[in-house]
Structure formats: structure tokens, C-alpha cells
């Protein structure tokens, strides 16, 4: 999954985090392998923590030899050590999937690189990945693979609650799962399907809302800018409807064309 040199550096960082007592979880490719059974090579390492603990995590990583920065004030800090990177994540780019106490309540104990850690929960992985539908990145296959590999272990009630008002997005992944794996549709509990489809049917009899809002920006930071900039739609990410300020949205949008690390 990673080179011996990188593994040793990440191992040292995890051990120092454990000694510090700062609460954190491991996500990314390590958690995905656990929940989906798929191993991926990766150039970086994902750590999840609450926003209030970000600086404590960064302080530990600095002592481990990393250079740190707050890449985006609303969701992501980064640590660099040559060609080695650690993402310190405390929210999602759209501001929806904030890392809160519930992440830690349902985290899974596991060994990563031989170090005891907590993995970010499968439900939160689905929640955050399910809302990524960029032109250059679509995480729907990841969601389908997690459904397939550990559907019987998921807390479906909690997963539905996590999506909250964005339940249509979860329904879209449930429908696609039945298309992707027609012989394994029963892995999704029928009660969940009936609940979500029932919500959809109930809306058919509701009056059309007059609010002109585009929620596409919760799925892609770039593909729905025309709706916001030229067509007069309200950006669903913007507070108080969403969790981001205009300044945070501007910075996140301006970074679209920047080369990735």
C-alpha cells in the first residue's frame, strides 16, 4: 500500500499521536480497505479529528518532522515531509460532514502499520464519499463497494439520519447499487429502500417550493457555478442554509485550478 520509508514515517506519526492523547481516527485508503476489502496504493495518509483538536494534531506532526499548514479553514489542514503527506480532515469540502463526537463513538479499533488506532466509521465514510460527484472524481463506486462488503454491519438507521435532508443522495446510491449488483440487491435492507422511496413518493403530492436554490454545489464545487453565478440560484453551501461563509466558498472555488500535491 505504501513504501517502507513512508510506512515508517507514518508509523512514527501514529505512535506520537497515541502518546500525546489527542483524539484522532485514520481514514482514507486504510479505512477503505477495511470496509471494502480493496487495497490501494496511496501517496498520502488521512487523519480525521474534531476541528477543536486540529492544532493539537498539527503540533504533534511538527514534532515528528512535518511542515504543517491550514489548507482550507473550513475542512482541511496538511502536513508535508518531502514527498510524504498527511491530510488532517475535520469536515468535508462542502461543509456537510463535520467530524463530531459521533464519529468517535462509532469508530472501529484496528491496527494500521502495526499501530493500534481507531478507524473512521463506515457510515461516515459513506456519508462523506456519497456527496462527492466531481467531474474529475466520483466516489459512487467506493460507496457501492462498502455496501457490498459490509452492508450487514452497517447501522442503517444512523446512516439515513446522517444524510438527513440530503436523503435523496443516499437513495441514488441505493438505486445504483441494485443496478451494479443485480444479484445482490437484498444486501440493502428492504426497510431502508421502502423508507427512502416512500419519502420520494410523498413529495409528489407536496406543493412545489418557490425557493430558488441549487444543491448541486454540495456534490461538486465547480460544475454548478454557472447556476450560482449566472442563473441566480442560491448556493446551498452558504450559511445559514449551509455551513460555509462566502469567503470560505471563494477560497475553495479559487483552488479548483491549482495543481494537486
Q: Which residues contact 128 (CB under 8 A, 6 or more apart)?
A: 92, 96, 97
Q: Residue 261: inside a domain, yes or no? A: no
CATH number at residue 42: 3.30.460.40
pLDDT at residue 1, rounded to an integer: 53
- Verify that 161 and 105 share a domain, yes or no: no
What are φ and ψ of residue 244, in 5° steps?
-110, 150
pLDDT at residue 40, rounded to an integer: 85
- Verify that 34 and 114 share a domain, yes or no: yes
pLDDT at residue 211, rounded to an integer: 81
* Nearest by Cα to 48 from 91, 18, 110, 8: 91
- Verify that 56 and 19 share a domain, yes or no: yes
**Domain finish residue from 120, 148, 169:** 120
Q: Residue 260: inside a domain, yes or no? A: no
- Cell numbers 430558488 correspond to 212
40 CB neighbour count, 10 Å cutoff: 12
- Verify that 105 and 174 share a domain, yes or no: no
Q: Residue 245: inside a domain, yes or no? A: yes
User: What averages of pLDDT result for each successive group of 10 residues across the chain (261 residues)?
Assistant: 82 97 97 95 89 98 97 97 94 98 98 97 98 96 98 97 98 98 97 98 83 95 97 96 96 79 48
**Domain finish residue from 87, 120, 153:** 120
**Domain finish residue from 120, 139, 172:** 120
pLDDT at residue 173, rounded to an integer: 98
Grid coordinates standing for 27?
Answer: 481514514
- Verify that 177 and 197 share a domain, yes or no: yes
Helix (H) or strand (E) holding 54: helix 54-63
Determine the 3-state secondary structure of 203 from DSSP.
helix
Helix (H) or strand (E) holding 86: strand 84-89
> pTM for this structure?
0.94
Range of the domain at 244: 213-254
Amino acid at each position: 500500500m505504501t513504501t517502507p520509508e513512508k510506512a515508517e514515517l507514518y508509523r512514527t506519526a501514529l505512535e506520537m499521536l497515541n502518546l500525546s492523547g489527542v483524539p484522532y481516527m485514520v481514514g482514507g485508503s486504510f479505512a477503505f480497505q477495511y470496509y471494502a476489502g480493496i487495497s490501494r496504493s496511496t501517496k498520502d495518509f488521512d487523519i480525521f479529528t474534531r476541528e477543536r483538536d486540529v492544532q493539537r494534531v498539527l503540533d504533534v506532526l511538527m514534532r515528528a518532522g512535518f511542515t504543517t499548514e491550514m489548507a482550507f479553514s473550513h475542512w482541511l489542514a496538511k502536513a508535508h515531509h518531502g514527498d510524504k503527506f498527511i491530510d488532517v480532515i475535520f469536515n468535508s469540502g462542502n461543509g456537510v460532514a463535520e467530524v463530531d463526537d459521533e464519529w468517535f463513538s462509532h469508530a472501529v479499533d484496528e491496527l494500521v502499520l502495526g499501530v493500534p488506532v481507531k478507524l473512521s466509521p463506515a457510515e461516515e465514510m459513506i456519508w462523506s464519499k456519497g456527496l462527492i460527484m466531481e467531474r474529475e472524481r466520483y466516489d459512487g463506486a467506493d460507496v457501492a463497494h462498502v455496501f457490498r462488503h459490509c452492508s450487514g454491519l452497517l447501522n442503517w438507521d444512523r446512516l439515513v439520519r446522517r444524510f438527513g435532508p440530503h436523503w435523496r443522495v443516499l437513495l441514488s446510491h441505493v438505486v445504483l447499487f441494485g443496478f451494479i449488483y443485480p444479484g445482490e440487491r437484498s444486501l440493502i435492507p428492504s426497510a431502508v429502500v421502502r423508507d427512502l422511496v416512500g419519502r420520494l413518493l410523498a413529495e409528489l403530492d407536496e406543493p412545489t417550493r418557490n425557493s430558488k436554490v441549487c444543491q448541486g454545489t454540495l456534490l461538486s464545487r465547480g460544475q454548478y457555478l454557472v447556476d450560482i453565478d449566472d442563473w441566480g440560484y442560491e448556493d446551498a453551501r452558504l450559511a445559514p442554509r449551509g455551513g460555509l461563509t462566502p469567503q470560505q466558498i471563494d477560497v475553495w472555488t479559487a483552488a479548483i485550478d491549482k495543481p494537486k500535491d
